[in-house]
Chains A and B, each alone.
Chain A
Amino acid sequence: MEQEVIPFKDFIIKKMKGQLIGIPLILALVISLSTSLIIIVSFANSDKAFVESVAPHIATLLETQDRPEIQRFVRAISTKKGAEVEVIFNNEIIASSFSLERIGTEFEKGIISLPFLDLKFNAGKLMSFTIARRENGWGGDKALIGIYLNWTPVIYLSLGISFIVFIFTFFVIKWPMMKIICETQLSLKHLSLLEEGISKLQNKFEATEIPPFPISELESIRSAFVTSQSKLSETNEKLAKSKAKEMASYAYKNLIHDLHVPVTALRNHLKIMGLERATQEDRENALKRIVDLAEQVLKQVKSARSHLGLEVLLKNEDIVESVRKATNNAQIASFDKPNIEIRAVLPDEKLMTSHDSILLGRALSNLITNAIEAASKQVQVELSKIEDGVSIKVNDDGEGLGQEEVSLHLQGRGKSTKNERMGIGLASANHIIRSHGGKIIYQSSSLGGACFEVRLQGDSV
């Protein structure tokens, strides 16, 4: 079963809902029950205190065996106190306000004492006993005055008061609990802020966007995260520089490789010039060829010099924006081709990728401008996220190029049939893309012309 993922705030409320009701309920119940017990006990004690005050007199009446007077007295006490009273002597009821039939009968056995209370249960009735004793004289455990608690008013009263106490206590206890939960929720705001900050930082790292927190654990997390991000950024820069050097070295290698063929041809032609058996015509051709080759070498060196001067600065930025700008720039530059329709197919969301927005923009502009030049009606720029990076395709519906020709152009050696710019543009674009660790793939376009696809790796430079 899939676990439900909910915000921390909701999680806390969900977890504490039971306690929020349960704890006040239990506490209020305990307090109200205690209150009603206290009421019952205090009632019983008040009755008992009254009986205690008349006990010496009852002791005297018992001593003089004046039971009619005891009975009248017991009846009077009962009427006044609203509680039933019995006098028990030698376990025999000798006076009762309950029922005259009980007089002369044995007092019930099986009295249950209530723990911690001076009360006893007898046949479902709550009662307390007082020994009928006269000071310095008659009396003993044999003579008892039992007073039965008058349940009805006590129960109504204790129920009423307990109910009020219950309601009051419930809310009084619930209030601080709610307060605690509210405070807990409030303190979680910092966690949310941290979460939000981190989330933002994933898109665009700016250390100042996460303010410091008053909670040490959160602050440690923030600080650790910010430090890691900063270090990661520094490392990225170093890596980029190292990559750039590598790229430069690679470019040199390419240059050397690219120059090897014309320079060898140049040497061979120079050899021809020096050969005795070479005809005048041969020498003229060689000379003509030497001039061409020298120009080509010069052009390649020039091109390489300009490329090697570029220094790529990678940043984790929105490539969608960079592609959009590059498309616009190319469109503006090709104002003399207003009949060419340029379509940009871009994702709606930001796509954060490490790149140098200026140089990549220039490279893309070159590709798009070339496409506009070559197109007969339309150019389509398409940006999409692929498995390990991004793909930017620039399509046109022109005549297209041969694979070999493209390769020469990418090396900066090709001769454009239309103008020079294209060759320079492609070689430059190629150099920039390579400096990003990416590559340019040439393929036939679905529009019928050429398609230059730029592939950049997403999380590495």
Chain B
Amino acid sequence: MSLFFTITALITMASAIAAMTLRNLVHCVLCLTVTFAGIALVFLQLGAEFIGFSQILVYIGAVSILMLFALLMTRGGTELTLKRWDPVHWITGTLIGIAGFGVMSFAIFNSSLRQSKIPEAKADSLHALGNSLLSQYVLPLEVMALLLTVALIGAALIALPEKKVFRRNASFSKNQESGNK
């Protein structure tokens, strides 16, 4: 375990703990971003450049922004701070955490990858990654692409103006004009 890895791991763990314990939700998300960056650094140390930079691009550039937007737009800027101690949250959170950890560790300990030896990082890993994505794993890739397209169309559908709202606003602005006169 190198010094660099120790520092990265400490920062990642500390920010993850801060993301769980801080009271202000925006602070929590920003700390979570530091955790994402730490995970990206771990990928980079393992020689997985593509995955590391994708992690930064997707998680810091998109997912954290998405969380912040969701926070600001749904909570109306008022409920951004949590209560000090909420036993229901703590108990359910602990249960979900244990369940998630259990599923993940079960999957990892039973996976066939664990028996096989870890191969050396190839010099041309990017080409190998691209080739296997478009040959061996082309079906999962296409399914993911379809899923994302469906999500995009769904988002556009939700954002379409509703006819009812428009009519009411039109009459509203008319009333306002006559009221001003």
Co-complex (A, B): no
Residues of chain A touching chain B, judged by Cβ–Cβ distance below 8 Å, are none
Which residues of B approach A to under 8 Å, CB–CB? none
